[in-house]
Amino acid sequence: MRLNFSILLFFILTLSYSQVNKKPNILLLYMDDLRPELNSYGSKHIYSPNIDKLAEKGVQFNEAYANVAVCGASRASMLTGIYPGIDYFIDYKTRVDIEKNDIVTIPKLLKNNGYTTISNGKIYHFLDDKWDDWDEVWRPYAFDNPEGIEPIDWWQSLWKDYQTTENKELEKITGKGPAFEIANVKDSVLIDGLLTNKVIRDIKRLKNIQKELHLQFIGFVKSRRGDKIKDENKEIFTGAFWSGESGLEIGLVDAIGEMKRVLKDRFGEKVKKRAKQVFFCDVILPCRIK
């Protein structure tokens, strides 16, 4: 008699995404052409409670300097991890994909290591610079571009985002406008507000995906093991790692041993194994006979 098996193997037995040694979530905020005129930096006339709280919980750099005093070039330098040179990263219209395309950027490195990378707002100067380094690229209004106008060109025409009639007319006539304005509108109307809301939505969406996958995993383990789980305590699904012996004690596995020998002991000496996908492991979950 010849039996075919579908075997579920794990390199190491864990019952959720590791909450103990998990990869950290990374939220990188870029703001250029600004000095640290904030309460946490000693400017007591500035009311900045949220950034002050962030400074208290994290690390505030009090002696940090830009590699180059130009917006686009500075961001390119930070995202590639290399200093500007005499012929690259020298002005605002820097393009990494032209000047240093062979460099593995920070978002590319993260993406290669299992992260979901999202570019919201103005990260590189050009919207399509190193496009493939991201899972998603988004800027307010950019992809609402009229036919015949590229997203980057449409964005460039809107980014000043004036809200008052006076300033809009001034920009039409002169091509310029004031450095700032005080308009009686909600934050969600402004590009900064739209961008903030998009980031918040992304964080919630990714968090919900993680939660959904975790719950699916819990359901899968419970359906496979059923009453064999002997100690269904709170730590089983927290991300703690269980060795073979520990997993055996609480009913997460049936046996520990060399795969070929375990299969023959269970199904006879003539058993044939055909693995579709095999990882090195010391844990075997129940086999299912096709």
Query: According to DSSP H, which parts of the chain are helical?
Result: 49-57, 71-80, 96-99, 106-112, 151-158, 165-174, 191-225, 244-249, 259-267
Q: What is the pLDDT of residue 261?
A: 80
Is 24 a domain residue?
no
Active-site residue 125, yes or no?
A: yes
Active-site residue 45, yes or no?
A: no
Which of 125, 214, 281, 287 is the catalytic position? 125
Confidence of residue 286 (pLDDT cuts 50, 70, 90): very low
Whether 37 and 46 have beta carbons less than 8 Å apart is answered as yes
Is 259 a domain residue?
yes
Residues 41 and 5: their CA atoms lie apart, in Å, by: 64
Is 114 a domain residue?
no
Residue 155: count of CB within 10 angstroms of its CB: 21
DSSP state, residue 261: H
**Partners of 242 in the β-ladder:** 13
In the chain, the percentage of residues whose pLDDT exceeds 90 is 37
Give 4-32 pLDDT, tens digit per residue: 433 333 333 444 444 444 678 888 888 77
Q: List % helix, strand, coil for the chain (3-state, nearest 5).
A: 40, 5, 55
Which of 71, 214, 281, 287 is the catalytic position? 71
Instruction: Give me 172's structure tokens.
Output: 């039409």
Number of domains comprising the chain: 1
Is 273 a domain residue?
yes
Give 20-69 pLDDT, tens digit per residue: 446 788 888 887 777 888 999 999 999 999 999 999 998 898 987 778 88
Model pTM? 0.68
- CA angle at 141 for the pair 186 and 81, rounded to the nearest 5°: 100
Is 220 a domain residue?
yes
Is 234 a domain residue?
yes
Is 100 a domain residue?
no
Is 13 a domain residue?
yes
Residues 96 and 73: their CA atoms lie apart, in Å, by: 9
Domain, as residue range, for 263: 5-17+211-289
